Amino acid sequence: MANPAKPTSLPIPWPEDAKVQVYTGGCHCKKIRYEFEFPDIYTTQMLSCNCSICEDRGYIHAFTPSDKFRFTSGSEKDLTTYNFGSGTVAHRFCATCGTSVGPPIAVLGAVSVNARTIDDIDIGRLQLLPSDGKSK
């Protein structure tokens, strides 16, 4: 697959000349299915934040440009939204099984996919970049 225009606004920039692949995933009950483009999931850093919401919901953030994410089953209508704090980020999860697929709402042109919900992923091999959200 050809490289996309280099995303510049991602919270974690992709490596130079990253070969982008399509990954699939979804929630436990399979009502929500998605696909998104991302460089190699085992060599590209993902964000692991220690703030209360990220810890409680088990987020591992794989950031991708919002136009590289799409639902293949279900839609935003099948997600329930939880807002807290300043309410600037809508935390969304499957209304049926509760899985946090991520907050697929574009913030500055990027979306976060919860890497735990990617199909057949080996969590222990991910390159996690710690973020001290607790102190912010």
Q: Which residues would be at the binding site for Zn ion (CB under 5 A)?
A: 27, 29, 31, 94, 96-97
- 44 or 91: CB nearest Zn ion: 91
Cβ-based nearer residue to Zn ion, 37 or 78: 78
**Residue whose CB is less far from Zn ion, 96 or 131:** 96
- Which CB atom, from 60 or from 94, has the smaller least distance to Zn ion? 94
Q: Compute the least distance from the CB of residue 70 to Zn ion, in Å.
A: 17
CB 34 within 8 A of CB 72: yes
- Extended beta strands in 1-136, E state: 21-26, 33-38, 46-49, 61-65, 69-73, 79-82, 91-94, 110-114, 128-131
Burial class (CB in 10 A: 0-12, 13-18, 19+), 25: buried
CB 75 within 8 A of CB 92: no
Question: Closer to Zn ion at the Cβ: 23 or 34?
Answer: 34
Q: How far is the CB of 74 from Zn ion (least distance, A)?
A: 8
Question: Please, what is the minimum distance in Å from the beta carbon of residue 71 to Zn ion?
Answer: 12
Residue 55, φ and ψ in degrees, nearest 5: -70, -45
**Least gap, CB of 23 to Zn ion (angstroms):** 18
Cα dist from 16 to 3, 68, 116, whole Å: 10, 17, 25
Least distance to Zn ion, CB of residue 113, Å = 15
